[in-house]
Amino acid sequence: MAPIGTLWGKPHQPQTKIIRSVAALNDLELEQPEYHFFNRAAEYTTKFGYGKIPALECSDGFKLLEGATIARYLCGLGTKVNLLGSDAKVNAIVDQWVHFVEHEIGKWSYNYMCTVYGIYTFNRKFLDEQVERLVRSLTYVEAHLATQPSGYLVTDSITLADLFLAGMIYDCSLTSLGAAERAKYPLVFAHYAKVTGIEKVKQFWEEVKFTEVAITEVRPFPYS
């Protein structure tokens, strides 16, 4: 099968992992050229002037920004697995969880990451505030998963919501959630293992060394 388009993004980026997983579950092929944060290729910058990733250019010239938007679009192209739900109500619940994990987990995780990697001016009070918000959100998700016999967020099978939760949990575990913090959310991390262990997608969720202790000081930005 010919690629349906080109995805610009970094392999470690949660949104890129999610999009590639959606494509793989539906047997859709994407090209992914090498991308550098600080030396963007002209092929990319002439098409995406804002300079944000992930970004998708389809084979017919159709272009999209924003991880959730791209992932939803690819869900609509797929026929192998239904990642959006069987009806309007289930679709809305899936969408509700996608937004929740982006804004109530991903946002605080991103702020934390930017602080410890020196993108934001270091402020320990601000860092602690992000942790407080993460704790509230993760506690809520843990309680919800306790009501789900399948281990998934919405239905008895994987949906886009599950991929987004896995993506945000991956992100948190690199900086703000050390081993002690992760142990407080056994169902959340059982969910992560379940989603990222699916045969068609596990290649995108390579085994990484999550931080053993939450990072609380400024470190060099590790990505190029």
Q: Are residues 28 and 95 in the same domain?
A: no
Q: In what order do the strands lie in the sheet with 55-58?
A: 30-31, 5-8, 55-58, 63-65
Answer yes or no: is 138 within a domain: yes
DSSP string for 32-101? -----TTS--HHHHTT-TT--SSEEEETTS-EEESHHHHHHHHHHH--S---S-SSHHHHHHHHHHHHHH
Range of the domain at 127: 88-204
- Over residues 1-14, mean pLDDT: 91
User: Position 127: which residue type?
Assistant: L
Q: Are residues 122 and 56 in the same domain?
A: no
Q: Are residues 106 and 170 in the same domain?
A: yes
Q: Are residues 51 and 105 in the same domain?
A: no
Q: Are residues 33 and 103 in the same domain?
A: no
Answer yes or no: is 209 within a domain: no
Written as six digits, the tokens of 3 are 């690629």
Q: Are residues 184 and 161 in the same domain?
A: yes
Q: What is the pLDDT confidence band of residue 42, given thresholds at 50, 70 and 90?
A: confident
Q: Are residues 190 and 118 in the same domain?
A: yes
- Over residues 202-209, mean pLDDT: 86
User: What's 100's domain CATH number?
Assistant: 1.20.1050.10
Q: Are residues 131 and 52 in the same domain?
A: no
Answer yes or no: is 220 within a domain: no
**pLDDT for 80:** 80
**pLDDT for 144:** 98
Q: Are residues 123 and 176 in the same domain?
A: yes
**pLDDT for 151:** 97
Cis amide leading into 11 (omega within 30)? no
Look at the chain and report how many structural domains it folds into. 2
Q: What is the pLDDT confidence band of residue 209, given thresholds at 50, 70 and 90?
A: confident
Q: What is the pLDDT confidence band of residue 40, given thresholds at 50, 70 and 90?
A: confident
For the chain, give the mean pLDDT.
Answer: 94
Q: How far is residue 8 from each of residues 44, 54, 55, 98, 145, measured CA to CA in Å?
A: 8, 5, 5, 21, 33
**pLDDT for 223:** 80
Q: Taking a C-beta distance cutoff of 8 angstroms, is the pair 97, 188 a contact?
A: no
Q: Taking a C-beta distance cutoff of 8 angstroms, is the pair 216, 116 a contact?
A: yes
Q: Are residues 52 and 124 in the same domain?
A: no
Give the CA-trace dihedral at 152, 155, 157, 161, to 10 degrees: -60
CB neighbours of 115 closer than 8 A, spacing ≥ 6?
A: 122, 123, 126, 127, 130, 218
Answer yes or no: is 99 within a domain: yes
Answer yes or no: is 222 within a domain: no
Q: Which residue has the tokens 């937004």?
A: 99
pLDDT tens readout for residues 46-98: 999 888 899 999 999 999 999 999 999 999 997 788 999 999 999 999 999 99
Answer yes or no: is 216 within a domain: no
Q: Are residues 154 and 56 in the same domain?
A: no
pLDDT tens readout for residues 124-176: 999 999 999 999 999 999 999 999 999 999 999 999 999 999 999 999 999 99
Q: Taking a C-beta distance cutoff of 8 angstroms, is the pair 9, 15 a contact?
A: yes
Q: Are residues 200 and 92 in the same domain?
A: yes
Q: How far apart are CA 42 and CA 40, in angstroms?
A: 6
Phi, psi (deg, nearest 5) at residue 8:
-95, 125
Q: Does this model's pTM top 0.85? A: yes
pLDDT tens readout for residues 193-204: 999 999 999 999
Q: How far apart are CA 114 and CA 174, in angstroms?
A: 12
User: What's 50's domain CATH number?
Assistant: 3.40.30.10
> Does the pLDDT of residue 206 top 90, yes or no?
no
Q: What is the pLDDT confidence band of residue 1, given thresholds at 50, 70 and 90?
A: low
> Does the pLDDT of residue 216 top 90, yes or no?
yes
Answer yes or no: is 157 within a domain: yes
**What distance separates the 2 farthest-apart alpha carbons in the chain?**
51
